[in-house]
Structure 1
Amino acid sequence: MIDVKTARDLVLLHSAKPSEVLEVIIKDALDFVLAEDVISKIEMPPYRQSAMDGYAINGFDDTPYTVVGEIKAGDDDNPNLNIGDAVRIFTGAPVPDTANTVIMQEKVIVHGSKIILEESIQPNKNIRPKGEQIKIGDLALAKGTTIKGAHVGFLASLGITKIQVYKKPSIAIVVTGNELVNPGDVLPYGKVYESNGSMLTAVLSELGYKNTSVVTVEDDYEKTKKALNDVIQNYDVVIVTGGVSVGDYDFVGRALKDIGVEEIFYKVKQKPGKPLFFGKKDQVSIFGLPGNPAAALSCFYVYVYPLLKKSEGACNTSFPNVLMPLLTDYTVKGDRAQFLKARMQNDGVEILDGQSSAMIRAFGDANALVFLPENTKQVHKGQNVKTILLSVK
């Protein structure tokens, strides 16, 4: 059995490198990873720009100014202002080259075509300089950036319509177990509704991974072997839930070995998710997650997600984490490292009830995992703990 750090390091070490590059239009680029640096071909803003509604003036003192025109956003006027001249100007409009400041309208008294200033002149106040945000030839976005909505807006503002991104991995989810019944069917005694497949598909979609498929297989060695062999031939990443332990009807480990999957590790000193498997066959990564839903989801967040991000060339491969003060005391059972469903609030982080590996309900209220290292016995209210934020938005 290995520790959490060793397991995480091995996952990243054996992650497949990104290979195929796609060209996508920026509106379809959300959650893809940039395959090359994006360099700006324009300056932003492309001209001196007013940051306020007000008056652009060629100022020299506080005596009345004469309003000689008006410039609104989108106009291409660049009038020559003499000393003592002003133009009415609106937010986003180009500031004349001969104007040296913009006075916000609330600081001006208007008398017909004359204005009197109620504040002293400060050179270049309320003027966004040309190229203030970015200049021609500057790096706009770096290779390895995961594209978010704000990035799309930024790229559009630079006139960029298409970018090069890495293709996302295809993912197969193999769900095992004789006890499983599809939601909506009659639930016989001794059966449970299957939830791991739909849960992982939804979480993957939420994180930007749409090319997924779910395969359900009974606890039968030959059927398990065939199902695993089929998906390994056709997908980049395989996630198996259930059947990875050592019970009489847990066939996943033996089937993986028999079809030539190299075991990188099996079992991690953690709770939940001790019977975690990770292996490789050629360039395909295979995870064996516990069948209990909460354990499966915890392992997905901690191990599978980083591999997916690494395999598509992302600079940041894990969820962000911070130190947060605990809102209550917590006593640890056992000596394994703990990943605890938690909710982060403004003043700290709360460890939630329902920590059993079979209890998925608490994950609906969770927005974080609290990580407690091996051999932690108790943590106290106010103590800072590592808090993994389950969001990349």
Structure 2
Amino acid sequence: SYIATGGMIPQGADSVIKIEDVLVDSAKNEIVITSPIPKGWHVRFRGGDMKSGDIVLQNGTLLTPFAVGALANLGQMAVNVVQKPRVAILTSGDELVMPFEDPKPWQIRDSNSLTISSQVSELGGVPMILGITKDNVEQAVRKIKFACDVANVVVTCGGVSVGEMDPFIAAFQEMNAEKRVHGVAIKPGKPFFFGLIKGKPIFGLPGNQASSAITFELFVRPFLKRMLRCQNPDRRIIYLPLNQPSFNSSDRDLFKQAKFFTKEQNTFAYILEKQESHLRTSLLEMDILVRHPRGISELAPDQMVECRLLNS
């Protein structure tokens, strides 16, 4: 009998052979099998992939194209999903202008809004850029109130240190925010703030470019992944030998931007040269964040270090 690929096996048959592996004698309505075939050859058995009672997708599974295909295979056209968190993004600074504007000598373009927005989108959230806040506490209060009304999470950037011109931290105080964290023992990112305003999570990130990107990675990202009920909200941690020495003279854990480096078929963590918190170019190259713990002034080449995979 002839069947198309994927067809049901006729009653009495137990194997299938590809048509290109036989000789067809049309006159005699016969075929010649040119090589032996085992029983069950090219037969796909019912339940061989999924069977009744199997759990195909766990709670917290990201609906990738392959997961959607599995649901279609089961005829499951509707599933319960978690609502994507809406994340309001506010930046502050009299010196900031929009990215499309030409800055004056005393101004800089606001790149943090789009960076954070892209980080939110990448992990499955819905970013809401609410613009630049001047160094004015009243304006900061108004914008934070609006952000709390329209979003599930609020992320501010800049204005969270202890200076007189830091409007967000002053606004948090005026709004009676429930402060949970203000200041962390890491570098970059020491001024990081986390609190609640009427139950709404508020993240205050430092304004320097590397500081805001790294504190988002360390604190905001896993929080949002947990809101999405992802099975694995945290980045993978691996250990690699250092390619060069690393120094830490501070009383904080250093998170250094690094990339993979292969030498003589061995993979190392290569710490990038530009580590200052106001610089952006190393962010373009980094694959990993290397943690240099406080209390250890120097890590030697080939010493194993903790590496956070940024593409996991």
> Do these two structures clear the TM 0.5 threshold for a shared fold by scoring above it?
yes
CA contact (8 A) 2:117 2:127 kept: no
1:190 to 106, 111, 132: 106
- Supply the AA of the counterpart residue of 1:356: E
1:381/1:157 CA distance change after superposition, 3 Å: farther
| TM-superposition CA deviations, 1:61-108 (whole Å, max 9, x none) | xxxxxxxx32113xxxxxxxxxxxxxxxxxx443445333445677x4
Matched, 1:322 2:238: yes
CA contact (8 A) 2:86 2:153 kept: yes
Aligned to 1:72: 4
| TM-superposition CA deviations, 1:212-248 (whole Å, max 9, x none) | 2323111112222222222223321111111111112
Structure 1 residue 211: deviation in Å?
Answer: 4.3
Structure 1 residue 170: deviation in Å?
Answer: 1.3
Structure 1 residue 176: deviation in Å?
Answer: 0.5
Distance 1:110 1:385 in 2: 62
CA contact (8 A) 1:319 1:390 kept: yes
| TM-superposition CA deviations, 1:121-140 (whole Å, max 9, x none) | 43334433211111123212
Aligned to 1:205: 121
Structure 1 residue 270: deviation in Å?
Answer: 0.5
The total of aligned residue pairs comes to: 304
Structure 2: unaligned runs, 5 residues or longer = none
1:329/1:118 CA distance change after superposition, 3 Å: farther
Q: Tell me: higher relative CO, structure 1 or 2? Use CA pairs within 8 A at least 6 residues apart.
A: 1
Secondary structure at the counterpart of residue 162 of structure 1? coil
Aligned to 1:78: none
2:168 to 252, 266, 274: 252
Aligned to 1:145: 61
Structure 1 residue 368: deviation in Å?
Answer: 2.3
Moved more, 378-387 or 168-177: 378-387
1:385 to 293, 305, 308: 305
CA contact (8 A) 1:335 1:376 kept: no
Aligned to 2:227: 311
Identity of aligned residues (%): 30
Aligned to 2:79: 163
Structure 1 residue 319: deviation in Å?
Answer: 2.1
Instruction: Show the 5 A alignment for 1:176-187.
Output: 176-187=92-103
- Supply the AA of the counterpart residue of 2:293: P
Secondary structure at the counterpart of residue 151 of structure 1? helix
Aligned to 2:12: 98
CA contact (8 A) 2:209 2:279 kept: yes
Distance 2:196 2:173 in 1: 10
Instruction: Show the 5 A alignment for 1:214-363.
Output: 214-344=130-260, 347-363=267-283
Moved more, 251-260 or 265-274: 251-260
Secondary structure at the counterpart of residue 23 of structure 2? strand
| TM-superposition CA deviations, 1:329-388 (whole Å, max 9, x none) | 333342421222222367343222211111122111223222233223333444333222
TM-score (norm 1): 0.71
2:288 to 368, 375, 380: 368
Distance 1:342 1:131 in 2: 47
1:127 to 43, 54, 62: 43
| TM-superposition CA deviations, 1:249-301 (whole Å, max 9, x none) | 11322210211210001111101101110001233100110000111010111
Structure 1 residue 196: deviation in Å?
Answer: 0.7
Aligned to 2:35: 118
Q: CA RMSD of the aligned region, Å?
A: 2.3
TM-score (norm 2): 0.88
Structure 1: unaligned runs, 5 residues or longer = 1-68, 74-91
